């Protein structure tokens, strides 16, 4: 992924808009990455993927509940804090 500093993005904004249509662009401030700029098409695709994953997790949770495969909240957090795979 290409990167530019924030000032370069500001001064070359028109060119940057063209660049992000081809690939995401990392934006740095003080030498550290702070943002990624991407095309609307890429953003919408990522958003659709996140929604699909969320729906799959909900379906798995509903199936777990229907099977009675549930865990007490306190026990869940205790195992989570111990670093156990849940």
DSSP for the chain reads -EEEEHHHHHHTHHHHHHHTTTS-EEEEETTEEEEEE--HHHHHHHHHHHHHHHHHHHHHHHHHHHHT----HHHHHHHHHTT---
Residue closest to 26 by CA, chosen among 36, 40, 16, 17: 36
What is this structure's pTM? Answer: 0.69
Name the pLDDT band for 85 (thresholds 50, 70, 90): confident
Confidence check: pLDDT of 86 > 90: no
């Amino acid at each position: 992924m290409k990167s530019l500093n924030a000032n370069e993005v500001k001064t070359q904004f028109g060119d940057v808009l063209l660049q992000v249509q081809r690939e995401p662009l990392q934006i740095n401030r003080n030498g550290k990455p702070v943002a990624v700029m991407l095309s609307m098409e890429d953003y919408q695709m990522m958003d659709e993927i996140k929604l699909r994953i969320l729906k799959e997790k909900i379906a798995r949770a509903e199936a777990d509940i229907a099977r009675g495969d549930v865990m007490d909240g306190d026990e869940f957090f205790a195992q989570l804090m111990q670093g156990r795979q849940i």
